Amino acid sequence: MATNTAPPKKKLLVVIGATGNQGGSVARRFLRDPRYAVRALTRNPASPAALALSALGADVVAADLDEPASLRAAFSDASAIFSVTQYWEPFFRPDCRAAAAALGVSCRRYAYDVEVRQGRNIADAAAGVAEGLEENGFWVSTLSSARECSGGRMTEVYHFDGKADVFPRYVDEWWPELARKMSCVHTGYFMTSWGILPASYLNKQAEGSYQMRFPTRPDRVVPHLDVNADMGNFVYAVSQMPPGKAYMCAGTFAGFEEYIQLWGEKNGVKTSYKQVTFDDMVADAGPGQEDLGIEVAHMCTYTDDPGYNGGMELLTAEDLKAVSLFLLLGAAWVRPE
Ligand SMILES: NC(=O)c1ccc[n+]([C@@H]2O[C@H](COP(=O)([O-])OP(=O)(O)OC[C@H]3O[C@@H](n4cnc5c(N)ncnc54)[C@H](OP(=O)(O)O)[C@@H]3O)[C@@H](O)[C@H]2O)c1
């Protein structure tokens, strides 16, 4: 007698940014669950990061956030989609700097426009497959809207608004069916980003200690995230929740003064925290990097008031304990090389 031995059909998770920090962590976590197949998107399937994902069992597929047709093809048959956008690539890329100059806009504003455009491309393509997505099947990495949460006072935290203006704002406005299946995952500070502003994150003092220097007041509680280790676990837990909720993915909530002290103890080095002025932070960014200093100094000011999360009520790892026994969140105690 014939028996049906076909294995159950796997759910297909499509991961944007799979070769990066956030998407890579998510892809690796779901690859460990045999119920999921993972389709990893990248512009370059031959890169070492893409080949490593392939070796782990991911189906690596070429797609570009600036090419909507490539996204529509990449999303076909998706049960779930993880979305992330990268503000800082168009911010730093020399060709983007040249394009911004030709348009007469700052590289900060230019990168906001790219992030919004790419985010909308993701949303538009995902809307085309919304019917086939699971009830909670659109997981988006985002940040709070500085413009809205500050009551219109802060209009230049571009790397926050570039995310919030699409996820959730644009999706809510234009794609209600997709919006019903969406979960918004805000992310805390990545200590691993210290290399873009070394004189602010880890300012080496003459006597050998490290000083963290931001315009944020020392005890203002801030979310911190070990992105590579913890993003995947967090999103895995989110996938088991009902849709329509917003989260803060962070392992440690601490003021910068406490954070850098703990970091120093962990790494066996002396540390201190100094609240500096906006202009000090711009100067610390170094010559030619003023726009970077300005963008991050605006964020630090926003972090003080109304707060990194904009004062929003966001669920945390604590609220996910019931759905995930494997949620191991820590801080990012990365060592300065
Ligand atoms: N640093 C922090 O403290 C912090 C805190 C909160 C939020 N964030 C946000 O985190 C985001 C960056 O996330 P991440 O660290 O995961 O970035 P990442 O490690 O630089 O990875 C970026 C990913 O995006 C993909 N990508 C970029 N442009 C693409 C395009 N045009 N088409 C297709 N794929 C594209 C890249 O893929 P390929 O290159 O392989 O194509 C890569 O996989 C930023 O927007 C930042 O604002 C950062």
pLDDT digit string (tens) for 164-184? 999 999 999 999 999 999 999
The dihedral of CA 191, 195, 197, 199: what is its sign? positive
Instruction: Calculate how far, in angstroms, residue 87's C-alpha sits from the geometric centre of ligand 1.
Output: 7
Averaged pLDDT, 69-98: 98
The SS3 call for residue 30 is helix
Closest residue CA from atom 28 of ligand 1: 86
Averaged pLDDT, 302-328: 85
Question: How many other C-beta atoms lie within 10 A of the C-beta of residue 153?
Answer: 12
With CA atoms as reference, report the closest residue to 217 among 334, 305, 96: 305
Closest residue CA from atom 10 of ligand 1: 86
Q: Is the pLDDT of residue 335 over 50?
A: no
Q: Is the pLDDT of residue 336 over 50?
A: no
Confidence category of residue 134, pLDDT binned at 50, 70, 90: very high
Confidence category of residue 1, pLDDT binned at 50, 70, 90: low
Rounded Cα gap, residues 286 and 197, in angstroms: 9
| Beta-bridge partner residues of 12 | 37
Provide the mean pLDDT of the chain: 94
The finding on whether 19 has its CB within 6 A of some atom of ligand 1 is yes
Question: Among 124-128, 218-222, 247-251, 331-335, whose mean pLDDT is lowest?
Answer: 331-335
Q: Is the pLDDT of residue 262 over 50?
A: yes
Averaged pLDDT, 265-273: 92
pLDDT value at residue 297 = 98
Rounded Cα gap, residues 156 and 160, in angstroms: 9
Measure Cα distances from 69 to 27, 122, 144, 179, 322 in Å: 22, 11, 29, 21, 39
Residue environment code for 205-242, b if the CB has 16+ CB neighbours within 10 A, otherwise e: eeeeebbbbbbbebebebbbbbbbebbbbbbbbbbebe
**Helix runs in 1-106, H state only:** 21-31, 48-55, 68-74, 88-92, 94-103
pLDDT value at residue 337 = 43
The dihedral of CA 268, 270, 276, 278: what is its sign? negative
Q: Is the pLDDT of residue 332 over 60?
A: no
Choose which residue among 41, 86, 159, 190 to substitute to test ligand 1 binding: the one with the highest number of ligand atoms within 8 A of its C-beta: 86
Rounded Cα gap, residues 145 and 112, in angstroms: 13
Instruction: Calculate how far, in angstroms, residue 268's C-alpha sits from the geometric centre of ligand 1.
Output: 31
